[in-house]
Amino acid sequence: MIRPAGALLVLGLLNDACQSSQELKSEQYFAEGYQLYTTYCSNCHQTDGKGMSGLYPPLVGSGQLTEKSRLACIIKNGMSDTIMVNGKEFSRPMPPNPKLKDLEIAEIVTYLNIKWGKDSVFTSIEFVEKSLKDCAPN
Amino acid sequence: MRLIQKNICINFIASLFTLSAIFSCGSENNKLPILGERDWVTKTVDGKEIVDTIYNVIPPFTFVNQDSDTITEKIVEGKIYVSDFFFTSCPTICPVMKRQMLKVFKEIKANPDVMIISHTIDPEHDTPQVLHKYAEDLGVEGKQWQFVTGPKDKIYEIGQKNYMSTAKEDKSAEGGYIHSGAFILVDKEKHVRGMYDGTTDEGTQKLLKDITTLLEEYKK
């Protein structure tokens, strides 16, 4: 990349470094998230995220996916409400995953939203921390 | 000698999941082996001493299915069937097993000589109503795939002793139970003729192949 000399160059370099570190982090989160998804989620939601019959809801196309605060809470605390996903009702409870750390949840949320949502960058640990604080069971 | 032979058979069962090669306990080519512990009795026929083998046989049972009907071994009379153990709230291998079993179900659907019996190992939670909803959500209709519940000790006993499939409560396990992911193939004489890893596609494909082989036996 050719850039004008002086301050602009420094700024440009900084900007580039910043971008690439964010890209790198997104890639790391995505890769880790994929592993975690395979371990903790894909048994029910399937590798392709399409769920299984009327038993387990799909993630692809689900409104719960892009509501990331709620998504983080569901991953951590499980869910027992009846929900509508893509026009179908699901009422089977999802078990909580109390062992998952905030970082791991951030990685899963990142994976899901880059893979099947519209995100191109990672979801931060801070975001997950805040989300979980807001929905912490009493 | 008898003891050694028994050991060979037991070892052989234990290694079934890893070895799907040719079975030494089976007697003829292209015939599936009869699995499980055996016993031998010596009797005299026409003045000659002969040794009779007593094989592991699935004993009579009484369970309740997803339609709240009482079912017994009569439901599989004159049929071969596949059996497994699961529970509806299981977060680990059951969804994987059920996905594989769905493939089996689709293959055997056209054949009234084949059935599936899935036993719950969590009968307190998995009532006939719960099983009914589960079957429905899985997209299973009709009587060919039975989801059964019953007294816990009876399910565990038949599971461990006759289907040779571990099933027990374990509070430390995720979901509260541990059980094997095996699919068990049973013939019309109630002998176990094969055990397969129900968590993998390879295991399921092997089962489908063996179902065909076993059905061939009855055509002759």
Domain ranges in chain B are 2-54, 62-217
d(CA B93, CA B197): 11
d(CA B35, CA B30): 15
Residue A48 in tokens: 């392709």
- Amino acid B9: pLDDT: 40
A98: which chain B residues are within 8 Å (Cβ-Cβ)?
Answer: none
- Are B137 and A95 in contact (CB < 8 Å)? no
Could you tell me which of B182, B184, B185, B188 has the C-alpha nearest to residue B211?
A: B185
How many residues are present in chain A? 138
- Give A63 to chain B, closest Cα distance, Å: 21
d(CA A25, CA A32): 10
- Amino acid B92: pLDDT: 79
Give the CATH number of domain A28-135: 1.10.760.10
- Amino acid B91: pLDDT: 77
- Amino acid B220: pLDDT: 73
- Compute the average pLDDT of residues A18-45: 92
- Are A44 and B138 in contact (CB < 8 Å)? no
Q: What is residue B122's DSSP assignment?
A: -
B92 touches chain A (CB under 8 A): yes
As its CATH architecture, domain B62-217 has: 3-Layer(aba) Sandwich (3.40)
Could you tell me which of A51, A48, A65 has the C-alpha nearest to residue A117?
A: A65
- Amino acid B2: pLDDT: 41
B89 touches chain A (CB under 8 A): yes
How confident is the prediction for chain A on average, in pLDDT? 88
pLDDT reading at B174 higher than 80: no
- Amino acid B112: pLDDT: 95
pLDDT reading at B73 higher than 80: yes
Computed on alpha carbons and rounded to an integer, the radius of gyration of chain B in Å comes to 18
Q: Which percentage of chain B shows pLDDT scores above 70?
A: 85
pLDDT reading at B179 higher than 80: no
pLDDT reading at B135 higher than 60: yes
- Are A43 and B98 in contact (CB < 8 Å)? no
pLDDT (tens digit per residue) in B7-61: 444 444 444 444 444 444 444 457 899 998 888 888 888 888 888 888 999 999 9
Q: Which residues of B106-144 are buried (b: 16+ CB within 10 A; e: fewer)?
A: eebeeeeebbbbbbbbbbeebbbebbebbbebbebeeeb
pLDDT (tens digit per residue) in A80-122: 989 999 899 998 889 999 999 999 999 999 999 999 999 999 9
- Are A54 and B136 in contact (CB < 8 Å)? yes
**Residue A14 binned pLDDT confidence (cut-offs 50, 70, 90):** low
Q: Is A41 helix (H, G, I), strand (E, B) or coil?
A: coil
The DSSP element (H or E) to which A71 belongs, if any, is helix A68-77
Per DSSP (E only), the strands in chain B are 39-45, 48-54, 62-64, 70-72, 80-86, 114-120, 145-148, 167-169, 177-179, 182-186, 192-197
How many residues are present in chain B? 220
Q: Is A64 helix (H, G, I), strand (E, B) or coil?
A: helix
Burial class (CB in 10 A: 0-12, 13-18, 19+), A69: middle
**Chain CA centroid to CA A31, Å:** 12
pLDDT (tens digit per residue) in B143-167: 999 999 999 999 999 999 999 887 6
Computed on alpha carbons and rounded to an integer, the radius of gyration of chain A in Å comes to 18
pLDDT reading at B186 higher than 90: yes
- Amino acid B139: pLDDT: 93
- Compute the average pLDDT of residues A51-59: 93
What number is the ipTM of this complex? Answer: 0.71
How confident is the prediction for chain B on average, in pLDDT? 85
- Amino acid A6: pLDDT: 53
- Amino acid A28: pLDDT: 96
Domain ranges in chain A are 28-135
- Are A55 and B93 in contact (CB < 8 Å)? no
CA quadruple A33, A39, A42, A48: dihedral positive or negative? positive
Contact yes or no for A33/A107 (Cβ under 8 A): yes
d(CA A76, CA A98): 6
pLDDT reading at A2 higher than 60: no
